[in-house]
Structures are given as structure tokens and as C-alpha cells.
Amino acid sequence: MSERPEPLLELKQQVSCSIDGAADRLHRLSRDIWSRPELAYRETEAHERLAAFFSEEGGWTVERRFKLDTAFRARWRSGGGGERRAAVTVGFLCEYDALPGIGHACGHNLIAEVGAAAAVGLRAALEDAARGSLPPPVTPLVTVLGTPAEEEGGGKIDLLKEGAFEGLDVVFMAHPSQEDALFLPCVAVHDVIIKYHGKASHASAYPWEGVNALDAAVLCYSSLSALRQQMKPDWRVHGIIKHGGEKPNIIPAFTQLEYYLRAPCRAELSVLKEKAEGCFRAAAVATGCTVEIEFAKNEYANMLRFGTLEELYRRNGECLGMEFTTDEDLLKNQSGSTDFGNVTFELPGIHPFFYIGSKALNHTEEYTAAAGDDAAQFFTLRTAKALAMTALDLLLRPELLQKVKQEFSQAKLAEEK
């Protein structure tokens, strides 16, 4: 007769069994979100679908329109323990906004599914633990936050400002990619719109009466291109001219550009913004135009790392068959940006990346197809299991959570220096 597994291992097996048992419901959830893509702050159907999912699961306290119209919060609390044990709240984050024109080309339907699945799996294990197999030394609370508008606007930053993350001890989410990775460098970014105002005139009959806003836009674009020679190798400035005039025979009275400014950390981004703003204003002075500079309301921060969380996730993932990339070029090369970075400046969290069965690149039509393919389900649920198991480690071993919190304090201090 085989020996009975250790209690913690049994609970992790319960995580897997519970998620597998909910696989059909979770797949339908993901497919419904994927088939009806919605843009930032307008994810009404995805929001309602997720809120309904937790309401139908039973046992969850669901708050629709939590702080934002398309955000929600679902909470579950373990019974027993009373006031004798400290409460620890773990959070799983769901994203569900899509990209214009190409739908869920970043796989946010799978991010939503991972968050929901991990919460379902962790709850099942904690209910089993409460029945006596391994009572947690703390009172566990599980929270799921629906966080809209990651692709544009920064919904998590809005929620941070509204206090939506207060009371959470640690947060978890995972992002689809081309490989399993504990961490990929996500950099700080700030979007900016530049508007030049000139004066219209007939471009052939009396051009001297005009003030050419297109010249200002072109000078701005060229100045930023020239600035790249003096930029650090890991700074990024990329943009487009969104409006260049009305007709060739009219001196353009108005032009508009949109740029993304990126740097490895918030401090360097501040320096880059100052240099870029000099280019914006110089183009106006050189052409006699006036300029409006409109930075987006939210600046995305870089993402802080927490070694204990990464190591726990690595161990759990490898037990489930994950093979994490060791490609140094990939691991050192900056990727995109995410509003989850701002969250890591307020509380510890982990944001690993996961393979979905395709080598297609994010933000392409091919990735949209891959995110909706049945083949992605195995990898998505495997990721949810690893996240839930990592949360379980923290809840059953409070010394690990304390270590994570110490790393958080150290990481913030290092960033400030």
C-alpha cells in the first residue's frame, strides 16, 4: 500500500482536481470573452460574464462596478478561526480588454480565465484544509479583482487611486506569451499627445500668410529621431502623426502626433520625458506655432521583482511540467509595459508569462486565433494551478509571506535610490 502524500501536497492535488473539474465552465468563460472583444473601459459584456461566473459559483460575495464601471470584486473567506488568527488576503487579477481591430491579440481572455481558475482552485484547497487536513495558521481570504483597461488608460492605476487594493497582502496574475517565463522586463511608459496650432492659408496663392502646423509636426518627429543618438540603449521613443492636415493646397492649421516614451524605471522615464518635451516645444518655436502637450492621466511604472514568489512559482510550475525559458537574450530584453507595474510599488505580486501552444507573436492576428484555440486551454489551466499552489504556500507557511513582504520593502527602497 502506497504512503499517503504529505498534507500540503494533498492540498495542491486538490487545487488541480478542482480546476480540472471546472475546466468546461472556465473554457466557456474564456471563449465568451474572446468572441466578443471590447476596448478599454467599455468591457461591459466581459465584466458581466465574469461577475456572473462568481455569482453562479456560490459562496462568493460579488461587487459589480467596484470603483469603476467595468471593474468587479469577488471575495471568499474561509470559515472558522474567528479572531484568534490573523487574516491574510491573496488576490487574483483578471484582465479582459481587447485591442482595436484585432480583438484578443494579447490573450486577455486567458488572463481572465487564469484568475478565475486560480481562485476556484485555491478556494477548494482551503475548504479541504479547514476540514482538518492542514488548518492554515491564518484566516485566509481570497479576492478576485476585475481590472479593466490595461491596453489603454491603466485601469489598475485608477483602482489603486480609488483604494481597491487596500487590505490585499499579495496579488497574482499571469500573461500569455510564447514561452513560460518567471519574469520578463516590463518597463515604465507614458503616452503623450502633441498638438500644433498654426494658421491656414492657400498653399499656392499666398503661403506666406499661413503658419504651417505640419512643419512643426515634421520638425518634432525629426528632432526626436535625432535625439536617439543621445538616448540610452534601453530607452524607447516611438510615435505616429495622427493628423497631418486637410488638403495639399491648404497650409495645415492643425496637426497631432502621438508618442509612447519608455524607460527601464520611473526615474529614467522622467529624464526622457524632459528631453522629449524640449523637442516638442522647440518645433513650435521654430515654426511660429503654438503647442499643446497632453500626457496621459496615468504613467505605467516598471515592474518590481520578488525572488521568493518567483522561486515558489517555479517549483510549482515545474511539478506541473512547465519548462521555463533560460534564453538570456529574451530574459534581459525589455518587453512591453503593464499597469501591473504600478501595483508592485504598492504591494508584492507576481506576473509570470505562459506559453499557450503557439509561437505566434502578441498583438498579431495569429495570436488572436491562438488565444481562442482549444489548444490554449491545457496551458492556461496549468498556469492557474501553479498560481493557486503558490498562494497556498504563502497561506500555509506565514514565514514565506513575511519574507515576501521584506523583499517588497527592499525592492522599493532600492528603486528610490
Say which CATH number the domain at 248 has.
3.30.70.360
Residues 180 and 35 in one domain: yes
Residues 135 and 264 in one domain: no
Residues 26 and 164 in one domain: yes
Report the 10 Å Cβ neighbour count for 164.
Answer: 21
Domain boundary among 295, 313, 337: 295
Q: Please report the pLDDT score of residue 85 as a whole number.
A: 63
Partners of 140 in the β-ladder = 88
Instruction: Find the domain containing 321 and state its range.
Output: 7-185+301-416
Tell me whether residue 32 is in a domain. yes
Residues 128 and 113 in one domain: yes
pLDDT in tens, 227-266: 999 999 999 999 999 999 999 999 999 999 999 999 999 9
Tell me whether residue 1 is in a domain. no
Q: Rounded to whole angstroms, how far apart are CA atoms 342 and 150?
A: 12
Residues 404 and 286 in one domain: no
Residues 20 and 152 in one domain: yes
318: alpha, beta or left? (left if phi > 0; alpha if psi -120 to 50):
alpha
Residues 233 and 324 in one domain: no
Positions in the chain short of pLDDT 70 = 1-5, 80-85, 133
Q: Rounded to whole angstroms, how far apart are CA atoms 141 and 173?
A: 17
Tell me whether residue 331 is in a domain. yes
Residues 49 and 179 in one domain: yes
Query: φ, ψ for residue 175 (rounded to 5)?
Result: -120, 135
Specify the DSSP element, H or E, that contains 255: strand 254-263
Please tell me the total count of domains within the chain. 2
Quick one: DSSP state of residue 62?
E
Residues 120 and 233 in one domain: no
Partners of 202 in the β-ladder = 250
Q: Rounded to whole angstroms, how far apart are CA atoms 332 and 234?
A: 11
- The per-residue DSSP string of 101-151 comes to TTBSTT-HHHHHHHHHHHHHHHHHHHHHIIIIIS--SSEEEEEEEE---TT
Q: Please report the pLDDT score of residue 133 as a whole number.
A: 62
Q: Rounded to whole angstroms, how far apart are CA atoms 83 and 225?
A: 61
